[in-house]
Amino acid sequence: MIDIYIVISGGGKVGSFLAWQLSERKHTVCVIEKDEGRCEKLATSTRAMVINGDACDYRYQEEARVDRAAVFAAVTGDDDDNLVACQLAKTSFDVPRVVARVNNPKNERIFNLMGIDAISSTTIIGHLIEEETTVGDIITLHLMQKGKFAIVEVEIPESGSRCCDRPIKELGLPDACVLVSVIRGDDVTIPRGDDMLKPGDSVIAVTSVEHEETLKKVLTG
């Protein structure tokens, strides 16, 4: 596999998972993150280079050598920051491919018009249902090495289960398992540690194959 240099703006759940997976696939990854605590955690849990700073600021992108990057991915929870960071990478550092997480699907068209590959939670679910495996040439929806990880959909019983009405961070989910999205009625959300699951929810998760059954038992048992 060719070693590709990738810069990620944002070291939260999405950014740290991306950094870990891409590093495991032997790519060179650099993460720019504002929060010092997140930076310390990333530095000890991934192989990625970590810069404590704001990716919307030219000097931090320059420090990250964004001019060398094949891909720049902005995945913070703020659409405005993601847009500014991507535009800076495109116009100032001429990055050939920029990808942004879009938290409000209504903003997706704006990103696309500006030449930025936009990925919203709604779009992710749509692609998963259609079994599309990639977004662009580098960053994939699966974010996994084939055969070692799986994307699963788990339906929480309408009658409820022990996982309901408890913060997700307290469920004891297996290692190498990330809840990607929760579908509740017509709403699709990216869950966070303090969020709670409800009876009837449909949960999309990425998990190692060996922990797939354990994950299902945690969510439905």
Domain definitions of the chain by residue range: 5-129, 149-220
pTM given for the model: 0.59
List all residues 6 or more positions away from 2 whose beta carbon is below 8 Å from its beta carbon. none
pLDDT for the residue 141: 38
CA quadruple 32, 34, 35, 37: dihedral positive or negative?
positive
* CATH number assigned to the domain covering 149-220: 3.30.70.1450
Alpha-carbon distance of 89 to 215, in angstroms, equals: 38
Same fold, 5-129 and 149-220: no
Extended strands (E) in 27-148: 28-33, 49-52, 71-74, 97-102, 117-120
Return phi, psi of residue 54, to 5°: -105, 120
What does each of the 221 residues of the chain score in pLDDT, given as a tens digit?
567 899 999 998 888 888 887 888 788 999 999 999 999 999 998 889 999 999 999 999 999 999 999 889 898 989 999 999 999 999 999 998 888 888 887 888 888 888 888 876 544 534 433 333 333 333 333 333 344 666 677 888 888 888 888 888 888 887 777 787 888 876 777 788 888 899 988 888 777 777 888 888 888 87
Nearest to 169 by CA among 156, 178, 159, 161: 178
Alpha-carbon distance of 61 to 68, in angstroms, equals: 11
* CATH number assigned to the domain covering 5-129: 3.40.50.720
